[in-house]
Amino acid sequence: MIRALAISLCLSWTSLACTSLAAQTGAQLEDDTDVKFAFHSSAWGENENSGLRLLMQNLTENTISLESIHFSSDASELENPKNSSNASILIQVDTQIRAKRYAELELTYRDLLSGDACVSKTLTDNWKLVEISNYTLNPSVRNLIIEDTASFRIFQCARRVHTVWTDLNTMEQHQYDEWVLYHFERRTGG
């Protein structure tokens, strides 16, 4: 199902991006996790470093602590963090999220755009990064009404992350290797 969805989405994308997404979704590590998150920054596209905002959602029945999110450019980095390259980014979150609730955290700016070929190419093609999240962006969720599809596009790149969180009721630690999606948008025309 995921591969079929990726192939259908590729109809409007370049063949390079299409091939990359189809391969990545076919090898997806976690279909769904109990913790959803999204990074936002007003600095993206504005050439400034005004910080990062992390929005988190706990889908479990217990309070959890989201401990860290490790962005990796190589699978071996997730297995052994000592192999980390300059493109690897470890973000210590250490934030409690109550059961079935949301939480928000302001972070100092971190460059989450470097170290990924798809992201670099997309930025040079005049796309603007909207968010980085471990769920698929739905334009209707952001109250976007797309009246002219010729003047609005959404493009996505994927990158591997390792997410660690603890159920504070049972003290059981959960670790997930999963994909995050870089959601870009471009408005053309008047």
Query: pLDDT tens across 69-90, in order?
Result: 999 865 554 455 555 455 689 9
Tens digits of residue pLDDT in 133-165: 998 765 555 555 555 555 556 778 999 999 999
Q: In terms of Cα–Cα distance, which of 72, 178, 182 is closest to 122? A: 182
Overall pTM surpassing 0.75 (yes/no): no
User: How far is it, in rounded angstroms, from Cα 128 to Cα 111?
Assistant: 15
Tens digits of residue pLDDT in 95-126: 999 999 999 999 998 889 887 888 888 888 87
Q: Return the domain boundaries, the chain.
A: 1-30, 32-187
Amino acid in the structure at residue 58: N
φ/ψ of residue 87, rounded to 5 = -80, -10
Angle, CA 37 vertex, CA 97 and CA 185 arms, to 5°: 150
Q: What is the percent of the chain where pLDDT is above 90? A: 39
Contact 131, 40 (CB under 8 A): yes
